Amino acid sequence: MWGGRFETGPADIMREITPSIDFDKRLAREDLAGSRAHVRMLGSEGIINKDDAKAILSGLDQIEKEIEKGQFVFKRELEDIHLNIEARLAEIIGPCAGRLHTARSRNDQVVTDFRLWVRGACERADAALFQVQRALFAQAEKHAATIMPGFTHMQPAQPVTFGHHLMAYVEMFGRDRGRFEDARKRLNESPLGAAALAGTSFPIDRDATAQALGFQRPLRNSMDAISARDFALEYLAACSICAVHLSRLAGELVQWSTPAFGFVKLSDAFTTGSSIMPQKRNPDAAELIRGKTGRVIGDFVALATVVKGLVLTYGTDLQEDKERVFDAADTLELSLRAMAAMVADLTAQPDKMRAAAEPGYPTATDLADWVVRVLKKPFREAHHIAGSIVKLAEQKGVALDQLSLAEMQSVEPAISEDVFKVLSLEASVNSRMSFGGTAPARVAEQLFFWREKLK
Total count of residues recorded for the chain: 455
Catalytic-residue membership of 274 = yes
Residues 6+ apart with CB under 8 A from 214: 119, 188
The answer to whether 65 touches 30, Cβ cutoff 8 Å, is no
Amino acid 6: pLDDT:
61
Amino acid 248: pLDDT:
98
Q: Residue 123 carries which side chain, given as an amino acid letter?
A: E
Residue 199 backbone class (left: φ over 0; alpha: ψ -120 to 50; beta: rest):
left
With bands split at pLDDT 50, 70 and 90, how would you rate the model's confidence at 12?
Answer: confident
- In this prediction, residues 250-277 reach a mean pLDDT of 94
- Average pLDDT over the chain reads 95
Total-model pTM: 0.93
Q: Look at residue 140 and give its three-state secondary structure.
A: helix
Catalytic-residue membership of 416 = no
Among 20, 58, 143, 153, the active-site one is: 153
Residues 139-174 pLDDT 10s: 999 999 999 999 999 999 999 999 999 999 999 999
**pLDDT higher than 60, residue 195:** yes
The answer to whether 374 touches 324, Cβ cutoff 8 Å, is no
- Pairing mode, strands 189-190 and 217-218: parallel
- In this prediction, residues 286-311 reach a mean pLDDT of 97
The answer to whether 193 touches 206, Cβ cutoff 8 Å, is yes
Among 20, 35, 165, 274, the active-site one is: 274
Q: Which of 124, 181, 131, 186 is nearest to 326 (CA)?
A: 124
